[in-house]
Amino acid sequence: MSGFPTLFYKEVLRFWKVSVQTIGAPALTAVLYLLLFGHVMDGRLQVYGTIRYEAFLVPGLVMMSVLQNAFANSSSSLIQSKITGNIVFVLLPPLSYWEFFWAYVLAAAVRGLVVGAAVLVVTVPFVPLSLREPLWAIVFAGAGSAILGTLGVLAGVWAEKIDQVAAFQNFAIMPLTLLSGVFYSIHSLPAFWQELSHFNPFFYVIDGFRYGFFGISDVSPLLSLAVVCASLGIFSALALVLLGQGYKLRQ
């Protein structure tokens, strides 16, 4: 396992060196979302009967930032390495595909969690929050970032050019994130769209994370945890199979 910490450090350093872009920009975007939607809905809507809409919105914005940035870290690193040809310097050392996988996924999770913490820090002054179930929030934040880091590995391995990664993000990751209850409770939707939301694994990540703040959620946190863990297991198994075969990497 001597290669794992080196590759992990390299991936963390990769986003940390440009932290203004990778951390500062998402935090600013989240603040703009909060100010815009908070101003529009100020005093007009309460969620779960007692929670102000602005407070409801903050955990969703935090998790949206976590998910999108975790995916961006692993997917962009792999596709850039494949295009420039320096992926060979990762493949030549005697690294097992397990080390390869966990280094990319954990580095992606670190970026997602750091961005999420930054978003929380800059939004809390606008909306005071309580953290009623901190353990649940931590578990869902970690699992959600790992899922998107794994999806980033899958996208980076599958893609052969940046356009394909961008399409994966724009037509899969972005819609699934925005339609997962970031800006609304699914109970405000018509019955058909409520049922459809239950097939979106990102919904369970965000709903479970929100439960950590308010102790209230659209579905049981245990159900959310089961779906999240199952999703992580499926995506991880698929990624490990592809990496073990050297799919589109060892050519």
8 A C-beta contact, residue 115 and residue 23: yes
pLDDT value at 70 more than 60: yes
- Residue pointed to by tokens 């962009």: 76
pLDDT value at 236 more than 90: yes
Rounded to the nearest 10 degrees, the angle between the axes of helix 201-214 and helix 134-158 is 160
pLDDT for the residue 37: 80
8 A C-beta contact, residue 212 and residue 132: yes
Average pLDDT in the 128-150 region? 94
- CB contact burial 133-153 (16+ within 10 A = b; e otherwise): beebbebbbebbbbbbbbbbb
- pLDDT band at residue 133, thresholds of 50, 70 and 90? very high
Residues 7-63: pLDDT tens digits?
Answer: 999 999 999 999 999 999 999 999 998 888 876 666 566 677 778 888 888 999 999
Distance CA 81, CA 185 (A): 40
pLDDT for the residue 203: 96
8 A C-beta contact, residue 139 and residue 228: no
pLDDT for the residue 29: 92
Phi, psi of 50 (to 5 degrees): -130, -15
AA letter at 178: L
pTM for this entry: 0.93
pLDDT value at 1 more than 70: no
pLDDT for the residue 94: 85
- pLDDT band at residue 113, thresholds of 50, 70 and 90? very high
Residues 162-203: pLDDT tens digits?
Answer: 999 999 999 999 999 988 888 888 888 888 888 999 999 999
The string of DSSP letters for 95-129 reads --HHHHHHHHHHHHHHHHHHHHHHHHHHHTTTS--
